[in-house]
Amino acid sequence: MPQFPWSRQTIRRLEQRIQSIPTWLVALVSIIILCNLVILIRGNPTLLYPDAPHGYRKKVLNVLLSDAEAIAIMVAVILYIKGAPDRKAQKHYEAWRVIDTAAAANVTTSYARFQALQDLHCDGVPLKWLEAPKANLSGICLPKANILECNLAGANLGRANLRGARLKGANLAGANLSHADLVGSDLTGADLRATTLRNAALWQANLWETDFSNAEMRWADLLQEQLKNAILNDTVLPDGSICQSQLESEDSRIS
């Protein structure tokens, strides 16, 4: 299958250059091009290259006036497309405002925040340093999200889709991650003390120096080797046994 020759960075640079062009210049060039196209479509090339100059301006003016509405609509469409990045940026600012307002007001359940987080993720916006402690985000869908060093302490993330998410250094202490999909996620150095991970899917997750002290992992889906470099103190393991120290975890069995 052939690949698109341009990389995302090249496309972004091209978009930035286009956006740097003044709006008035875009409108002027668009009008000139569209006017010439209208004249050509009319099927009378002598309007563009007249042999006799007599009445030329009048004919051109009549043609353009008859299609003025169509030209105006096309210019408006072009300007609307040019302004798309600015509207998207404004949308992102509004989404972050909703998230920050909910956090400042200590609101636990907010559909607006829930939707704002998913919208930002769908637009490819990183969610690192997110502040949403004790938030009710049950069932949220953020696969492969960049949530580095976020504060989700005490949050309800039951049945959340965090497959492949980057949660390095995240604060998830006391959070509810029951039935959460964390397959392939990066939890390096994350704080999961007293976190509930019942039936959570942690297959292929990076758990290097992840703190599972006092956490409950009953029926969680992961391999014993994944916990080799994790911090386990009074941790309820997937088979129901309690690991009271890191050394003990090496001999524990995980179903």
Q: For residue 219, what is the domain's CATH number?
A: 2.160.20.80
CA–CA distance, 14 with 244 (Å, rounded to integer)? 57
Residue 216, beta-bridge partner list: 196, 236
* Per-range mean pLDDT, top range of 15-24, 48-57, 186-195: 186-195
Please check whether residues 247 and 150 belong to one and the same domain: yes
User: Is pLDDT above 50 for 39?
Assistant: yes
Domain assignment present for 231: yes
Kindly state whether residues 156 and 234 are assigned to the same domain. Answer: yes
Whether the pLDDT of residue 146 is over 80: the answer is yes
pLDDT (0 to 100) of residue 40: 66
Higher pLDDT, 127 or 70: 127
201: in domain? yes
36 SS3 class: helix
Number of domains in the chain: 2
* Residues with Cβ within 8 Å of residue 248, at least 6 apart in sequence: 232
Task: Let me know whether 247 and 129 are in one domain.
Answer: yes
Separation between Cα atoms, residue 107 and residue 114, nearest integer Å: 12
| Greater pLDDT, 143 or 247 | 143
Task: Tell me, yes or no, whether 76 lies in a domain.
Answer: yes
142 in Cβ contact with 162 (< 8 Å): yes
pLDDT bracket for residue 249 (50, 70, 90): very low
Q: Whole-number mean pLDDT of the chain?
A: 84
Q: Are residues 249 and 162 part of one domain?
A: yes
- Residue 83: CA atoms inside 13 Å, Cβ hemisphere, count? 12
Query: Which stretches does DSSP call E strand in the chain?
Result: 235-236, 242-243
In this structure, which amino acid lies at residue 71?
I
Query: Is position 47 within any domain?
Result: yes
Tokens representing residue 155 in the block: 């949050």
Q: What is the pLDDT of residue 78?
A: 74
Question: Does residue 75 share a domain with residue 37?
Answer: yes
In a domain, 171, yes or no: yes
Predicted local distance difference test score (pLDDT) of residue 51:
52
Q: Please answer whether residues 221 and 197 qualify as being in contact, where contact means their C-beta atoms are separated by less than 8 angstroms.
A: no
Token duo for residue 14: 């091209």
102 in a structural domain: no
pTM above 0.85, yes or no: no
Whether residues 55 and 132 share a domain: the answer is no
Percent of the chain with pLDDT over 70: 77
The parent domain of residue 41 ranges over 8-82
